[in-house]
């Protein structure tokens, strides 16, 4: 779907040979830099950890905390265009950079997606359905919100949460107090009604400064303990659902004026309703399948969008299943490595410490069908969770 290409171009092209500055040195920055190197760009990374995954493949790293304004200014002086690879940045620093450097994504959408309450309000204002939610600032608010939304419900911190951190499922009245005690003191909270989803879907869409957009194929995602485990593409949904999911993502990108990538995660319920759960204005874990299965990877596409180049073809070339490699899975995967089928493409992030639930890499398994790719993933016997049936339902979690 190509929209808005006739709008006037307002930004100039950032040509290969230029330097891209990345705020954040994690795996997303690493894969962005690897894709950009193929295209001829240079990279400078700002991250507090020396030898961060992205820094290993960049030209230079500025080792400093993200809130260090002086370091941010150094980044601005060294980069022709600046992007970020994770959201937990000080949006004021990004706003300051925006004033003195080329930051095509801007700080506005970053600010919105950093806060679940702001994000949900912005989505609602854009006519995009979300799970019913209430702001919770006190115990009394929580009691009232539970009366209104019912059980189960999920209490989440409005800021700072990721990969299931800062979330408590409340299944019954007596679980409210411990959940509140756990999360209170971590800033504003939001209570969300539990969405009895049959599938979780996501769409990563790229949008250029002139408004031209190109979505990647709809992905079907399997989460366990709040962490993405598997992405299945094509998603096992009917065409009308896939079309609606794509339209929702494009509408979100357009209404929120995204530039670069926007990942839109959503819940599909049995009656066919889609509700958006979360946005990420950056490359996304559920878009890693594009690296081996699409004409253009999400990382190349992000660079094309922020550098104001034409967007690449986002077509899917083969069915694919992406499975995350967490620290707990790494030793077994490494054991299997010498015997792996050539259709199992391994990506590792160069992280020094393999904590059990830390994302250390992912594999993309390409096959003639997603069923075959899933069977190949199971046969490797590396993962506890491959498909949704392996996840414990929330009622007995």
Residue 85 engages ligand AMP in binding (rule: CB under 6 A)? no
Question: Closest CB to ligand AMP among 131 and 330?
Answer: 131
**Six token digits for residue 194:** 């539990």
> What is the torsional sign of CA 317, 321, 324, 328?
negative
Q: Does 350 bind ligand AMP (CB under 6 A)?
A: no
200 annotated among ligand-binding-site residues: yes
Residue 385 binds ligand AMP (CB under 6 A):
no
**CA pair distance 23, 85, nearest whole angstrom:** 6
Cβ closest to ligand AMP, residue 144 vs residue 162:
162
> Which is it for the CA torsion 276, 277, 283, 288, positive or negative?
negative
Determine the size of the site formed for ligand AMP (CB under 6 A). Answer: 14
The candidate with the shortest Cα–Cα distance to 287, out of 21, 44, 85, is: 85
292 is in an annotated binding site: no
Cβ at position 275, least distance to ligand AMP in Å: 8
Which sign does the torsion angle of CA 156, 159, 322, 309 carry? positive
Per CB under 6 A, 98 contacts ligand AMP = no
Distance CA 339, CA 376 (A): 13
Q: Would the annotation count 223 as a binding residue?
A: yes
**Binding of residue 106 to ligand AMP (CB under 6 A):** no
Stretch of 31-39, 73-81, 177-185, 189-197 lying at the interface with ligand AMP (CB under 6 A):
189-197
- Region from 27-35, 43-51, 188-196, 231-239 binding ligand AMP, contact rule CB under 6 A: 188-196
Handedness of CA 44, 25, 48, 361 (dihedral sign): negative
d(CA 163, CA 182): 17
Q: Has 193 been labeled as part of a binding site?
A: yes
| Phi (first) and psi of residue 53, to 5 degrees | -50, -40
Query: Which member of 154, 189, 205, 385 binds ligand AMP (CB under 6 A)?
Result: 154
Within 10 A of 12 (CB to CB), how many other CB atoms are there? Answer: 10
Per-residue contact flags (x/-) with ligand AMP for residues 205 to 234, judged by CB under 6 A: ------------------x--x--------
Contact partners, residue 307, CB within 8 Å, separation at least 6: 13, 14, 15, 18, 20, 41, 81
List % helix, strand, coil for the chain (3-state, nearest 5): 35, 25, 40
Q: Does the annotation flag 41 for ligand binding?
A: no
Q: Which is nearer to ligand AMP, 48 or 164 (CB)?
A: 164
Q: Are 4 and 255 in contact (CB under 8 A)?
A: no
Binding test (CB under 6 A) with ligand AMP, winner from 277, 297, 298, 324:
277
Residue from 109, 131, 323, 376 touching ligand AMP (CB under 6 A): that is 131
Q: Is 84 in the site for ligand AMP (CB under 6 A)?
A: no
* Known binding residues: 116, 156, 161-167, 192-195, 200, 223, 277-278
Binding site for ATP, by residue number, is 116, 156, 161-167, 192-195, 200, 223, 277-278
Query: Using CB under 6 A as the criterion, which residues of the chain lie in contact with ligand AMP when the complex forms?
Result: 131, 154, 161, 164, 192, 194-195, 197, 200, 223, 226, 265, 277-278
């Amino acid at each position: 779907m190509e929209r808005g290409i006739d709008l006037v171009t307002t930004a100039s092209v950032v040509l290969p040979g230029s330097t891209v500055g990345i705020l954040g040195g994690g795996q997303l920055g690493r894969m962005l830099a690897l894709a950009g190197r193929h295209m001829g760009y240079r990279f400078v990374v700002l991250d507090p950890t020396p030898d961060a995954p992205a820094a290993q493949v960049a030209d230079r790293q500025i080792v400093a905390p993200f809130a260090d304004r002086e370091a941010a200014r150094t980044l601005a002086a060294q980069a022709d265009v600046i992007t970020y690879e994770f959201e937990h940045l000080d949006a004021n620093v990004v706003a300051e950079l925006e004033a003195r450097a080329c930051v095509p994504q801007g700080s506005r959408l970053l600010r919105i997606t950093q806060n679940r309450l702001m994000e949900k309000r912005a989505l609602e204002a854009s006519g995009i359905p979300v799970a019913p939610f209430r702001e919770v600032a006190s115990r009394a608010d929580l009691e009232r919100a539970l009366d209104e939304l019912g059980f189960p419900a999920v209490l989440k911190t409005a800021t700072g949460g990721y990969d299931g951190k800062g979330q408590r499922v409340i299944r019954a009245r007596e679980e409210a107090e411990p959940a509140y005690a756990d999360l209170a003191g971590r800033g504003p909270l939001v209570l969300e009604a539990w969405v009895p989803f049959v599938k979780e879907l996501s769409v990563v869409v790229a949008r250029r400064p002139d408004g031209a957009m190109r979505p990647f194929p709809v992905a079907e995602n399997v989460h366990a303990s709040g962490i993405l485990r598997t992405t299945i593409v094509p998603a096992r949904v009917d065409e009308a659902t896939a079309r609606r999911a794509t339209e929702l993502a494009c509408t979100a990108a357009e209404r929120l004026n995204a530039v670069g990538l926007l990942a839109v995660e959503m819940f599909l319920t049995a009656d066919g309703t889609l509700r958006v759960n979360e946005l990420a204005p950056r490359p996304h874990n559920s878009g890693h399948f594009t690296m081996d299965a699409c004409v253009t990877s999400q990382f190349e596409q992000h660079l094309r969008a922020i550098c104001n180049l034409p967007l690449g073809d986002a077509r899917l070339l083969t069915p694919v299943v992406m499975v995350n490699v967490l620290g707990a899975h790494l030793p077994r995967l490494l054991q299997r490595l010498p015997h792996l089928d050539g259709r199992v493409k391994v990506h590792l992030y160069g992280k020094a410490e393999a904590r059990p639930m830390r994302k250390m890499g992912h594999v993309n398994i390409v096959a003639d069908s997603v069923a075959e790719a899933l069977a190949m993933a199971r046969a490797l016997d590396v993962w506890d969770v491959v498909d949704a049936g392996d996840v414990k339902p929330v009622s007995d979690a």
